[in-house]
Structure 1
Amino acid sequence: MNQADEPSSPPQPDIIPFPQSRVLPSSRHKPIKYLGQGAMAKAIGAPERQATGHWCSRCQGIWYGYLLEVTCPACGNRHG
């Protein structure tokens, strides 16, 4: 079999990871701050029970966003 007979594989795209969506709190012994709701959740009036919780490592707290919100409402951090 020569190179002409081998099937060519398609080029692999670069994988861009989602911004650390599974970051754990740094210390489980400290109280966790409530940071509020994200801008989209506030804008549409989504109840907190329908929002998704997100950890902000900068603020050391949890905030709640709607759908795919990724920006902390307290500090603007987008990396968990």
Structure 2
Amino acid sequence: MSDDPPRVIRFPQSRVPGRSRSRPVKELGVTPLARQIDPTDRGLRGHWCSRCWGVWYGRAGEVECPVCGNRHG
């Protein structure tokens, strides 16, 4: 081992600024597929959309924002 301090590797999401009063986080809703699978909305996961500046809910395998189609978080 070297004497160098451990390096912190930042994830891309760490560059996203937090919410503020001037730009609050929006709730973008639930995907159509998730509604078809279970209309009670149980077991949904939240996903971040940086284009819409909000959170959308869907199943674990879904990756596309239902509002704008963004697939990159």
For the aligned pair, the TM-score class normalised by the smaller chain equals 0.5 to 0.7
2:43 aligned residue? 50
Q: 1:23 to 1:38 in 2, by over 3 A?
A: farther
Is the 2:35–2:41 Cα contact (8 Å) retained in structure 1?
no
Give the one of 53, 58, 62 matched to 1:65: 58
Structure possessing the higher relative contact order (Cα contacts under 8 Å, 6 or more residues apart)? 1
TM-score normalised according to structure 2 size? 0.66
Paired with 2:36 and 2:26, the residues of 1 have a C-alpha distance of 22
Runs of 5+ consecutive residues of structure 2 not aligned to the other structure = 1-10
Work out which of the two has the higher radius of gyration on C-alpha atoms and give 1 or 2: 1
Answer whether contact 2:30 2:56 (CA < 8 A) is retained: yes
Residue 31 of structure 1: CA displacement? Answer: 1.5
Q: TM-score, normalised by structure 1?
A: 0.61
Give the letter for the 2:28 counterpart: L
Aligned residues: 60
Identify which of 13, 17, 23 aligns with 1:23.
Answer: 13
SS of 1:62's equivalent in the other structure is strand
